[in-house]
Amino acid sequence: MEASAGSPRTSRTMSMLWTPPGEDRTSQTGLTLATIIDAATEVADERGDTAVPLRAIGERLGCSAMALYTYVDGKEELLDLMYDRVHREFGTAAPVSVIEWTERLLELYLAHPWLLDIATARPVLGPHQQQAFELLLGTIVPYGFDRRDVVAIASSAYSLSAAAARTIADARRARSGAEEDDEPSWNTRLDALAAAAPDFAERFPFASGLGHAAPGDGMPSMEQAARENLRRSVELLVAGASNPADAG
C-alpha cells in the first residue's frame, strides 16, 4: 500500500520542508532534526519500504520513540522530510536530455527503493523534489511543446523511471534470494519453455519475431533490459511529441 506522504495537514510540515529549523535545536540526547531524518532514511534503505517504526529509529539514535516527537509530528511528517531530503542526491546540474534526467531518477530510486512507495498522486512538494522537477522541465520546455504535451511527457518520465526501478529492484531481490544452482532468469525459463512448447514460434509468430522473445534464443538480464527499455521509451516519447503526425 502506498504511503500518502503528501496528504493534507496543517502548514507545519510545509514550513519545515521550506524553512527547516536550525540544526542547533538539540537536547541532552544530542538529537537534531537532521540526525533523525538521516537515521530514518538508513532504516528505510535497509528495509526497502516505508514501514519504518519510530521505535527502530529511536533505537538507532539511542533514545525512545517518544523523544522523536519533539522534532516531528509523526511518521507521515517524517516521511515527507525523508522524501525531500534524499532528493538532494539528484543534484542541481542541468541534464542534457530527458533521457539523462530519467536515468538519474532511476538511480535515486534504486538507492532508496522506498521512494517508490510514496504516492506520486499526492506529492510532498518540498524544495529538493521541486528542484528535480524544474530540471526535468528545463529539458522539455525548450522543444516548444504546448502545455498539455509538457505535462504528459513529464508525467511519463516519472512513471517510466519508476517502472524501470521496480523491475530492477525486483530482479535484484530475486537474485539475492536465489540458490546458486537455482538462479531465476529469463534464459532458464525460456529453455524450459522451449522444451514444453516446441511449436511456440508457430503459435506466437509476433513474439517470436522479436528475436530474443523466442524460447532458446537467450535474453539480456532483467536489469539490462529495463535500462535499455527506459532509454528507448523516452526516445520514442519525445520523438512522438516532436512529430505528432508520425506518432499517429
CATH for 61: 1.10.10.60
| Per-residue pLDDT band at 182 (split at 50, 70, 90) | very low
Which has the minimum average pLDDT: 105-109, 123-127, 138-142, 149-153? 123-127
124 and 67 both lie in a single domain: no
Domain edge (last residue) among 43, 61, 85: 85
Task: Note whether residue 3 is domain-resident.
Answer: no
pLDDT mean over 232-239? 95
Same domain, 15 and 66: yes
3-state DSSP call for residue 118? strand
Do the Cβ atoms of 64 and 53 come closer than 8 Å? no
Residue 210 banded pLDDT, cuts 50, 70, 90: confident
Please say if the pLDDT value at position 226 is more than 50: yes
Q: What are phi and psi of 73, to 5 degrees?
A: -80, -5
Could you tell me if residue 6 is inside a domain?
no
How much is the pLDDT for 243?
80
pLDDT for res 156: 96
Residues 236 and 130 in one domain: yes
Number of domains observed in the structure of the chain: 2
pLDDT above 60 (res 192): yes
Q: What confidence category does residue 215 fall into, taking pLDDT thresholds of 50, 70 and 90?
A: very low
Is residue 4 situated within a structural domain? no
Q: Does residue 108 sit in the same domain as residue 171?
A: yes
State which residues form the domain around 237.
Answer: 89-247
In tens, the pLDDT along 30-44 reads: 789 999 999 999 999
What pLDDT sits at residue 244?
67
Task: Give the whole-angstrom CA distance, residue 158 versus residue 22.
Answer: 32
Question: Where does a domain end: 50, 85, 120?
Answer: 85
Identify whether 2 is part of a domain.
Answer: no
219 shares a domain with 138: yes
Are residues 69 and 125 both part of a single domain?
Answer: no
145 and 180 part of one domain: yes
Q: Are 197 and 189 in contact (CB under 8 A)?
A: no
Both 209 and 185 in a single domain?
A: yes
3-state secondary structure of 3: strand
| 169 lies in the same domain as 73 | no
A 10 A CB-CB count for 169 gives 17
Domain check: are 99 and 133 in the same one? yes
Q: Residue 235 domain-assigned? A: yes
Same domain, 24 and 52: yes
What's the confidence (pLDDT) of residue 248? 46
Last residue of a domain, one of 85, 107, 138: 85
**Are residues 104 and 216 located together in one domain of the fold?**
yes
The residue-averaged pLDDT of 21-30 equals 57
Residue 55 is predicted with a pLDDT of 95
